């Protein structure tokens, strides 16, 4: 196990708050890279995967773009561009409101659901996921509590 100091080749931090912030940001980037490598063979980006997950959670109902944006992990993503790309792949469908052309309802297609099932099967093959191999379930529960406290 490498410490954050070893990972970024820094001898010490001015205080625990800076060290923790750097460690969280570094680990977040590391986790994003792990997920990006996993999703690449499925032809999805992390943001597209996030959108499909949101839509699967709404299924069979549709959802408006603004609601998707509110729920996304990466709030800086261009959700309308992501939806367009997913529609090109036939993973989502868009229905325009006939009375308000700017209002569009979005839903996941059967192809989108099937792709998520395929991804779920691959994810289940490595339980626990490889990125958590050195951490117990109890430690993960504690980590989630701490992360929730940081955001509150």
- Residue 133 banded pLDDT, cuts 50, 70, 90: confident
Of the two residues 151 and 126, the one the predictor is more confident about is: 151
- pLDDT tens digit string along 86-110? 999 999 999 888 888 778 899 999 9
Rg (CA), the chain: 19
Res. 85 pLDDT band, cuts 50 70 90: very high
* Angle at 103 (CA atoms; ends 66, 68), nearest 5 degrees: 20
Q: Residue 139: what pLDDT?
A: 95
Which CATH number is correct for 43-151, 3.40.50.720, 1.50.10.100, 2.60.40.10, 1.10.10.10? 1.10.10.10
Average pLDDT over residues 72-84: 90
Top-confidence residue, 129 or 109 = 109
Task: Give the start-to-end residue ranges of the domains of the chain.
Answer: 1-42, 43-151
Reduced to 3 states (helix: H, G, I; strand: E, B; else coil), residue 95 is strand
For β-strands 104-108 and 63-64, DSSP reports them as antiparallel
Percent of the chain residues past pLDDT 70, beyond the cut: 99
């Amino acid at each position: 196990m490498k410490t954050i100091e070893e990972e970024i080749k820094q001898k010490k931090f001015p205080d625990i708050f800076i060290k923790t912030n750097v460690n969280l940001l570094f680990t977040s980037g590391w986790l994003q890279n792990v997920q990006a490598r996993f999703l690449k063979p499925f032809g999805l980006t992390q943001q597209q995967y996030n959108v499909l997950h949101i839509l699967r959670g709404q299924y069979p109902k549709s959802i408006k773009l603004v609601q998707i944006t509110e729920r996304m992990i990466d709030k800086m993503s261009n959700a309308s561009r992501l939806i367009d790309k997913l529609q090109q792949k036939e993973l989502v469908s868009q229905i325009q409101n006939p009375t308000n052309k700017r209002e569009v309802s979005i839903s996941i297609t059967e192809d989108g659901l099937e792709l998520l099932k395929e991804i779920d099967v691959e994810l289940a093959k490595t339980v626990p996921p490889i990125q958590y191999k050195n951490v117990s379930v109890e430690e993960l529960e504690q980590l989630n509590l701490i992360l929730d406290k940081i955001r509150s």
